[in-house]
Structures are given as C-alpha cells and as structure tokens.
Chains A and B, each alone.
Chain A
Amino acid sequence: MQDRQFGFATRAIHAGTPPDPVTGSRVMPLYQTAAYVFGSTEQAAELFQLRSYGHIYSRISNPTVAAFEERMASLEGGLGAVAFSSGLAAQLGVVLSLAQNGDHLVCSQNIYGGTITQFTVLLKRLGIETTFVPADDHAAIAAAVKPETKLLFAETIGNPAGTIADLKALAGIAHDAGIPLVVDNTFASPYLCRPIEYGADIVTHSATKFISGHGTVIGGVVVESGRFPWDNGRFPLLSEASPGYHNKVFTETFGEYAFLMRARAEILRDVGAQMAPMDAWLLLLGLETLPIRMEAHVRNARAMAEFLDKRPEVEWVSYPGFASHPQHKLAEKYLPRGAGSIFTFGIRGGREAARRFIDALELWSHLANVGDMKSLVIHPASTTHSQLDGDELRKSGVAPESIRLSVGLEDADDLMWDLDNALKAAVRATENAPA
C-alpha cells in the first residue's frame, strides 16, 4: 500500500469497490440478500453490540449499499456516509439523528418545495419547528438561531431559482452558534462543488439526480465530515446515554464516527428507509461517469441559457453562470467548473404561455425530476412547488411564468430546435388569443 491522494475521476470509478475478496469479481457484486449468517453466537453478540464490523440485516447495512456509501463519502471528502431510500428520507435521517420534540431548525427558504413541506408540516407535527430565512440574509440567519436550534440547512444551488448559498459564511454562522451546517448538494453533485471543503458538516443528496444520471433510481445519501464537535453539550442524542442502543454514549464510543454510527444503528434501523441493493448497484455504475457527464451537462446548459437569453419570447433567464445573476460571484467562487445544468427562465405571457410552451415540446421530457441524461422541463408553480402558498412561492423564487429546465446530454442543436419551435408556438398562440 502506498500513500497517494487519488483524483476525483479515479475515486468515482474505484472508491468503495476493490475487487471482491471472495470471487475476484471486478464489478461490485449485487448482494441481493435480506440477512447474513453469523459465524458463531459470540460473533453475533459482538455485531449486535456494535463491537465488531459486519452485516446483520439489510435494513441496517448491505455490502453493495456500503460500497455506494463509501464512494459517496470519498467523492464528497467525508468521513463516511449512510444511504437512504430517497433524498427526502436522507434529510429526515439527518434531522432525526440530531433533533427531537421541542427542538428547532433554521433553514434557507430558497430550497425544494418538498423539503419546505416536510419541515413545515411533518416535522412540525413531530414537535420540531423550523424558521425559514433567505439564504443570503446572514444577519437574519444568525438571529433565527435559538438555544434549541440543532442545525442550519441550505442547498448549494437552490431549487429551482438557482440561489447559490455562501457556504463559507453559512458555516461560520452555524459554527459560531455551535450547530452544524447541513447542505443539500443535489444540484451541484460533488463534481461541481464539495461543501465540506467550505466548512459544511453534513451533506445530503437526492441520488436520484446526477448521481444516478439515468433517471433509474430513487435514492438518497447523507455524508458527514467527522469534524463537528458533537460533544459540545448541544446534542444530547449523541453525547448522552442512548436508550435506543444499550445506553451507549455515541460520542464516547465512536469518537468522530458518532453521528454516522447513530444515523445508521438507530435512525436507519428504526425508520426503515434503507436503500435497496439493486439501487445502490445502479448508482455505483452511474457515479463512474459522473465527471464526464457533469462536464457535458454544464456545457449544454450554458448553450441553452445563452440561446434563451437572446429570444424575444423570453422575459428573463435565471442562470447563475450569467454575470447578471444575483449570485454570479458566489457561483464563480463555489462552482468554478460550472453552475450546474438546472435553471429557470420566464416566458412572455405568464402561466398560460408557460403551459403552451411545455405542451409544444417534442424532445424535452415533461416530468418531475432533474439531473437526468435526458433533457427535462417542468412548470414549478403548478407542480414541484404547488404545495406552497403564494407568499411561500414568491419567497422560494418561483414566479407564475417560471419554467425549469434540466439540461441533458442530447445534441445541443436538437435541444435548441425543440425550444425554438415551442417558444414560437407558445407565444404566438398566447398573443393571438382573444382578449
């Protein structure tokens, strides 16, 4: 063994998947099993007491899923990872690992509508309150932190408006308050941005998006840096005896691994939202091409943004790669390889023109997902963010005329041909409509 820091592309292909020691299989085998035979009663007891490493039951861990977790931890620069059945399950896993009834969260308001609903409706019912603040209002964020606040949550690139979080500043605010910064990095992927390098403590993903890359899997993952001092007195779930696990004190027993061990041994175990082995196998395959896919996504996205920006049918384009975008400087700082491939634009003629535009597209797929090889389109106000009321909608950056594009990897000329046809059809029809 030699000491070498391998590059991102090498790790995207190799991390977590040395050759199978039993068969020599070069591809990570699909361990499609629910449970694992113990070597002895003594070994079984050691495993159940978390004193040795090994698999018990696939709700808690599985070799194929573990390979995916390790690869994600490597790519994000984390200490380890815990995979979940979806991105929403992953962020719920983070919250449940740190917070309980009576606790409080501070959250950027410029995020995915489904997250806002999870926090404001589901978590509120469980007795966990959330204060939403604009991601760029740092004074308001600091002021929102209370003694019972357990985390600060933001998205690297906000869905759908493309608000870029100032990760270093947010990490500073969080750490001054003694809480971790949790960053959802779904829209950037670890290829474009690694929030842990800027001070984030926990990174979540909907693995469904760029990590899969092919729109085949619903999955999520939590990566942790291992740097946060969970024994600072603010996190009794980690630093006091846990009745959920033989009264173990996770910070004492596992040191820097305390959060990851509890997220798996208690939260994943008790919530049962584990990733399926087949899904992990597909995600491992997807990750191998992440670097070259992201390069191509970014290239195509810029081409589409520039194309739309010149069109008379288009009122505005909110693309962080443009100098006119309010967070362009932050995009240059945190996303030097490109500001992702998901952005919004406003079509002339409001909601009705947006509807006609989407209906006129031939090649772009109209569906509720992003980060696929296939180019995707949706109208957020009536779909992904439709649970939000008018005020919440405006705060999360969604206008009635907003159209969200997730630019895929088809020929740019074909994508522009389709946009061109649909823009003409939508605006012509809208403007010819009787008043």
Chain B
Amino acid sequence: MILETPAQRRALLDRSKTVAMVGASANPLRPSYTVFSYLRTQGRFEVTPINPTIAAIDGVKAYPSLAAYAAERGAPDIVDVFRKPSEVAELAREAIAAGAKAIWFQYGVINPQAIELADAAGLDVVVDRCMKVESARFNGGLATNGLNSGLITSRRRA
C-alpha cells in the first residue's frame, strides 16, 4: 500500500530494521551518502549499500544487486532507492523478487509504473520522501533545526 501519512511512515520505520540502499554513493558530497551515513550512525537500522561499482562504504560491504543481497542476507525490510526515475520500474521488480517488505523512493524518484508494481505486489510504498528526513521527523532531529516536524504531543518521548 502507498503510505501517505506521517503516522504510516512512522509505523514503517518503527517496524523495520534492515535497509538495502540502492544507488548509495561513497562520495561524501552525494545526497545518498548523507542519508547512508545518517541512518548508519543513528544505529537504528542495518544499512547496506547496493551498488555494483563499489566494494564498501565506510567499511560496510556493498552488494552488486538486490538479488545478491537477498541471497546472502535474506529479504530486506526496506529497499531505499536513489536512482533515476526512468530506471526504477525494473528495480521495483527486483525488490519484489528479493522479498522486500517495503520500497522507499527518495526525493524526485517518481515513476508511476514502479509505484504500481510494488503496490500491487503488496509492498509498502513511500514516494518522494527522504528516509533521513522522515527518521529525523520522529526522533526529534528535524526539531533541532527549527524544521516543522508536525508533531504535537504532551506525552514524554520514551
């Protein structure tokens, strides 16, 4: 199903542990590196780069494909996608084949066919959102920068 509300995204992040990041770059100037590094150093997720052109990022072994990842590590909870929109329909098929529970399309990665494929296969789908930003929205990170988290609560954070 396509997750459109903050509560749905929060629930997805809460129930997920393993993240296969397709298109993760080892170049510190690239947005994908920023997200990779953030999610890894937060310690909440096991993040793995999926990129045939590199062996590892910051000591974390990279896999050439989702199939290679799944063969060794099993189905990922979330496939996080940093790729050109035109290339992601095929990627959605690979994510389905790898048994992924959810597919997360980063900012600007919008491909209606890929969304429909993943949704029809029963994956949770997040579109045009950043996994770093959404994690930070719920863990208080956004608020440290004066960004509108949208959170209103009188409960103390556990």
Which B40-84 residues have a C-beta within 8 angstroms of A?
41-42
Query: How many chain A residues touch the partner (CB < 8 A)?
Result: 55
Residues of B within 8 A of A74 (CB): 148, 150
Say how far B148's CB is from chain A's closest CB, in angstroms. 4
A260 to B145, CA, bound (A): 9
A1-38 vs B, Cβ < 8 Å mask (1 yes, 0 no):
11110100011001110110100101000000000000
For the complex, what is the distance from the CA of A49 to the CA of B28, rounded to whole Å?
Answer: 9
The residues of B that contact A249 with a CB separation of less than 8 Å are 29
Q: Report A-chain residues with C-beta under 8 Å of the C-beta of B133.
A: 255, 257
How many residues on B have C-beta within 8 angstroms of the other chain's C-beta atoms? Answer: 38
* B28: nearest chain-A partner, CB-CB: A49
Q: Which residue of A lies closest to B146 (CB)?
A: A69
Residues of A contacting B6 in the complex (Cβ-Cβ under 8 angstroms): 1, 3
**A238 CB–B CB distance under 8 Å:** no
Contact pattern, B 14-52, Cβ under 8 Å of A = 1, otherwise 0:
000000000000001111001001100110000000000
Given known pairs A63-B144, A247-B29, the reply for A43 and B107 (CB within 8 Å) is: no
State whether A51 and B34 are in contact (beta carbons under 8 Å apart), knowing that A1-B7, A19-B154, A21-B156 are contacts in the complex.
yes
Q: Which of A10, A68, A81, A260 contacts B152, CB < 8 Å? A: A10
**Residues of chain A lying within 8 A (CB to CB) of residue B140:** 21, 53
Interface centre among B7, B151, B152, by most chain A C-beta atoms within 10 angstroms, is B152
Q: Which residues of chain A are near B145, meaning CB under 8 Å? A: 53, 61, 66, 80, 260-261, 264
A288 close to B (CB within 8 Å): no
Q: Name the 5 nearest CB pairs between A and B, nearest first.
A: A69-B146, A53-B141, A80-B147, A73-B148, A255-B107
A contacts, CB < 8 Å to B:
1-4, 6, 10-11, 14-16, 18-19, 21, 24, 26, 42-43, 46, 49-55, 61, 63, 65-70, 73-74, 78-83, 241, 246-249, 252-257, 260-261, 264
